[in-house]
């Protein structure tokens, strides 16, 4: 997949935010969506991480997106944090990070979206199996405008909030 091409039409799942999810005992209801249907006509930033609650993702990567959510929104972008985790885990992670409805946390089912973009990470040696790579994709009306993948799943450079905001 190259910049300038239409993104893949894959299925993802998300527990959409509602105020009941502030209570960590609430699970919400996951719903599936197709990327082409949900993102058509929109500006979207996709931040892919190898896994929810993992040290780099939880402490060094996604908190800055939570803090700067309004900066992305002011530029007209919706931010989707995606991983191979199930939608309940992604929803719980959103709550743990103090995010609410300002960011979406979705499951890249079978890592199909990340595979199509060519960014996966084989973390089998650590017992995690195949995961999404760590990357940032900027999408405008289903067209890939920029794509930056980290050279290692443990790095946060080109996919950082600061770096992505600089591209918008």
Residues marked as catalytic: 57
- Phi, psi at 155, each rounded to 5°: -95, 150
Q: Is 136 left (phi over 0), alpha (psi -120 to 50) or beta?
A: beta
């Amino acid at each position: 997949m190259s910049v300038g091409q239409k993104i893949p039409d894959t299925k993802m799942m998300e527990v959409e935010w509602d105020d009941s999810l502030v209570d960590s005992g609430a699970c919400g209801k996951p719903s599936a969506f197709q990327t082409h249907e949900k993102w058509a006509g929109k500006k979207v930033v996709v931040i892919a991480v190898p896994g929810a609650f993992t040290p780099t993702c939880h402490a060094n990567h996604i908190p800055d997106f939570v803090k700067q959510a309004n900066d992305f929104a002011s530029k007209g972008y919706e931010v989707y944090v995606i991983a191979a985790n199930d939608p309940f885990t992604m929803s719980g992670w959103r709550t743990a990070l103090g995010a609410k409805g300002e960011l979406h946390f979705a499951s890249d089912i079978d890592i199909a979206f990340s595979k199509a973009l060519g960014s996966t990470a084989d973390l089998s040696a650590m017992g995690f199996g195949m995961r999404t790579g760590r990357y940032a994709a900027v999408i405008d009306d289903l067209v890939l405008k920029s794509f930056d993948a980290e050279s290692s799943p443990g790095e946060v450079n080109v996919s950082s909030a600061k770096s992505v905001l600089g591209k918008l």
